[in-house]
Amino acid sequence: MKRLILVFILVLPITALASSGGVDLQTANNNLHDKKSLQRGAGLFVNYCMGCHSLQYMRYQRMGDDLGIPTEVLEKNLMFSAEKVGELMTISMKKADAEKWFGVAPPDLSVIARARGVDWLYTYLLSFYLDSKRAIGINNQVFKDVGMPHVLWKLQGWQVPAPEEASAEGHGHQGAGLVLKNRAQMDEKKHHESVNGYRRDVRDLVNFLAYVGEPMQLERRVIGKWVIFFLVIFLIVAYALKKEYWRDIH
C-alpha cells in the first residue's frame, strides 16, 4: 500500500506537466461576475469560434438572459446560423467534413473550461506560434501539433519562438518564450497596447467559456445523483439475488 501511494506521489506531477506540454500555465484572472467581460466573450466566441465549435447544451435565449443581452441585440449581432432565440447553439459543420479538413473534428466546448481549467485555456489561446515544420504552418506550446488554426491571429498577430536573449521579455507577456514576429517594428507603447489588448480578449473569451460550463455542471450533478440512486437500487437487487442463490446451498 505504501509503495502504491509513493508511485502516485511520483507520477502525479508528471501527468500535470504532460497536460500543458511542460509549459507553465498563466493565470486567467477571469471574473464570472463581470457582465461586460462575459458579453464581449460571447461576441468573440460567436464571431471567431462558432464556425467550428458548438455549445450544444446552451440556448441563445438563456445566454442572453444570463448575460443581460437584449433579444434584438442577440438576434442582430450574435445569431448567424440560428433562426430563433430558443435554439441550441449548435453548428452546421459535419463531423466527417471536419475530420477531412482538420484531421480531427473540433470538439464541442460546453464543458471545456471544466475539463481543461481556465488557466489552461488562457495559456492555450496565447501560445500559438509559426512553425514551418507543420503542414498548417502553426503549432501551440501547450497543445503540441494541434489541429486548430490560429483563428485569432488578426487580434494577436503572429508569434515566433523568441531568441534566447529575448525570451525573458517574452515571458509574462505572450506565451512563454514567444515574441510577436513584428516586435522589432513596434515601439514600447504599441507593443504594450497590442499585448494587453489581446490578453483582455482572451480573458473575456475564457470567462465566457467558464460561464457556459457552469450550468452544465449543475446538469451533471443531477445526472450524478441519478447514477448513485441507480447504484443503490442495483446493490439491493444484487444482495437479494445473492441471498436467493445461497439459500439452496446452505
Which residues here bind ligand HEC, judged by CB under 6 A? 48-49, 51-53, 102, 104, 106-107, 109, 112, 116, 121, 124, 146-149, 151-152, 205
Minimum distance of ligand HEC from residue 20's CB (angstroms): 11
Give the DSSP letter string of 50-61. Answer: TTT--EEEEEHH
Is residue 29 within 8 A of residue 202, CB to CB? The reply is no
94 backbone dihedrals φ, ψ, rounded to 5°: -85, 145
Minimum distance of ligand HEC from residue 99's CB (angstroms): 9
| Closest to ligand HEC by CB, 127 or 194 | 127
Instruction: Please tell me the distance from the alpha carbon of residue 120 to that of residue 138, in angstroms, as a whole number.
Output: 19
Minimum distance of ligand HEC from residue 15's CB (angstroms): 15
Is residue 23 within 8 A of residue 126, CB to CB? The reply is no
Is residue 145 within 8 A of residue 131, CB to CB? The reply is no
Minimum distance of ligand HEC from residue 131's CB (angstroms): 14
Beta bridge partners of 57: none
| Closest to ligand HEC by CB, 51 or 157 | 51
Closest CA to 123 of 205, 13, 189, 53: 205
Residue nearest to ligand HEC (CB): 49
| Closest to ligand HEC by CB, 47 or 71 | 47
Minimum distance of ligand HEC from residue 200's CB (angstroms): 14
Is residue 103 helix, strand or coil? coil
Instruction: Please tell me the distance from the alpha carbon of residue 177 to that of residue 164, in angstroms, as a whole number.
Output: 8
Closest CA to 39 of 213, 154, 194, 205: 205
| Closest to ligand HEC by CB, 162 or 201 | 201
Instruction: Please tell me the distance from the alpha carbon of residue 25 to that of residue 209, in angstroms, as a whole number.
Output: 17
Angle at 41 between CA 17 and CA 73, to 5 degrees: 160
| Closest to ligand HEC by CB, 20 or 194 | 20
Minimum distance of ligand HEC from residue 146's CB (angstroms): 5
| Closest to ligand HEC by CB, 102 or 186 | 102
Minimum distance of ligand HEC from residue 45's CB (angstroms): 6
| Closest to ligand HEC by CB, 194 or 207 | 207
Is residue 56 within 8 A of residue 89, CB to CB? The reply is yes
